[in-house]
Chains A and B, each alone.
Chain A
């Protein structure tokens, strides 16, 4: 792994006498322990061709050969992709669409368009949420709260992102010739859905930590990993402190889409807080693409962590390889306008703890 970068932190480039976390202020309790933990009983992931060729490719349930899915626009393709994932997850859970009590979904587009248009097809109660790339854990936390409190039985949580639509919303036209810096990331084309239920045998969501918006003054739109790492650290430290646990208590710690650089920074930041993450920590963005795929620091986007979590991580949990997993999805909450107005990038990270 990235020993080299890690050592930079250790040799004192950023090391400070004061703990950063205390600067943010006294902590309110952020962690919820679910009294009636919901089970993940169904899941489905759909990814684009490029993601299918990456190291995670063999775990995804469906790999598209055409990123446009035969649709006229990329937006429609994203809608179709999310619909496919939801249908697959509901079927995987052994339910029918009308058995779903609540749908919580989000994506990266303005006005959460994709999710809204998908929800139009299902006629079930629906919450559209926006939390950028941390949408999946926000949805899982909300769903777990509802189920744990006994309000609903079956809730589906879903999210999607598409490289082409995200590029257009946040960056330049697709065919525009621009060079990305080596620290940029690549938006994952994919959709994922998990079905949570009050009963069943699947892995349980036992705890959730609601993140706070953290802003360390980063302004570079391309360097999302560096912007989001402090948010991941904030939530991670909150979870560890409030539950009295440490990295060793989890078989696997995953973050959403910090990418290679961001995950190295997070290791440094956590080291500074006194937690050594070591081999048990992986980043979904970092794992999404091969270095030969020219995706710079790795994947990003709402679907990045959601697809890896719903395929690879849950597969391994069901096979018994991991007993307890902490999943931190991270999101950058800027808009293109706020960045042109000289604003810094506020970020958030929500976490869930899943146990078999």
Chain B
């Protein structure tokens, strides 16, 4: 098709003139911001472990992620999470903090439509894919695991 050929040519041309994200720079930014987030979480976990050793590892892991989720949401509320994220890219959305930010930002954004029809309805607009896919595929994995274990 001639028209598609034209579109293809235009696409190639656009690709050749479109400025690219500076690969090294953005990789480095997401590397150190992601790394610092993880180190921060590790540090919080270690502090909890030192303070409350009787809680057990599982609970400490849970408390740690609750803490960084709460921190990320507070940052979102104060309005500096997106400033970090603009620099960090994947470094800020891949850690669980990004999940928390996506939830809080959607929830705040739709506050103007009311707490029921706005906030409550739209809270999962951005994180929906993660929760839905997580639940579905973990259930599948759990079933397969049980069937295999049962079979063996």
Contacts and interface: CB of A to CB of B under 8 A. Distances in A.
Direct contact of A and B (CB under 8 A): yes
Interface of A: 5, 8-9, 13-14, 16, 20, 23, 72-75, 168, 172-183, 216-218, 223, 226, 230, 261, 264-265, 268
A176 B126 contact: yes
A73 B108 CA distance: 12
A73 B112 contact: yes
B96 interface: no
B142 interface: no
B18 interface: yes
Nearest to B20: A182
Given A13-B13, A173-B126, A175-B79, 13 more contacts: A75-B112, A172-B105, A173-B105, A174-B105, A174-B108, A176-B82, A176-B102, A177-B93, A179-B85, A179-B89, A216-B11, A264-B17, A265-B14
Nearest to B7: A217
Contact of A230 (B10, B79, B82): B10
B10 to A, nearest CB: 5
B62 interface: no
Interface in B90-109: 92-93, 98, 101-102, 104-106, 108-109
Given A176-B82, A176-B101, A216-B10, A181 B76 contact: no
B81 A175 contact: yes
B2 A23 contact: yes
A175 B109 contact: yes
A108 to B, nearest CB: 17
B17 A217 contact: no
Contact of A13 (B6, B16, B101, B112): B16
Interface in B19-55: 19-21, 26
A217 B4 contact: yes
A232 to B, nearest CB: 14
A217 B11 contact: yes
A223 B14 CA distance: 9
B57 interface: no
Contacts of A180: 86
Contacts of A183: 18-19
B101 A226 contact: no
A261 B112 CA distance: 35
29 contacts: A8-B16, A8-B17, A13-B16, A14-B9, A14-B13, A23-B2, A74-B112, A173-B110, A174-B108, A175-B76, A176-B106, A176-B126, A177-B82, A177-B84, A177-B85, A177-B88, A177-B92, A178-B86, A179-B85, A180-B86, A181-B21, A183-B18, A216-B6, A217-B4, A223-B18, A230-B10, A265-B13, A265-B17, A268-B13
A216 B18 contact: no
A218 B20 contact: no
Contacts of A182: 19-21
A243 to B, nearest CB: 26
A5 B14 CA distance: 11
Contacts of A179: 26, 85-89
A331 to B, nearest CB: 18
Please give me the 8 A-B residue pairs with the lowest Cβ-Cβ distance, nearest first.
Answer: A177-B85, A217-B7, A14-B13, A173-B109, A175-B105, A176-B105, A173-B105, A179-B89
B86 A177 contact: yes
B108 A173 contact: yes
A218 B12 CA distance: 11
A178 B18 contact: no
Nearest to B72: A177
Contacts of B86: 177-180
Nearest to B106: A173
A23 B10 CA distance: 13
Contacts of A217: 4, 7-8, 10-11
A225 B76 CA distance: 31
A178 B85 contact: yes
Nearest to A272: B13
B104 A175 contact: yes
Contacts of B77: 175
A74 B110 CA distance: 11
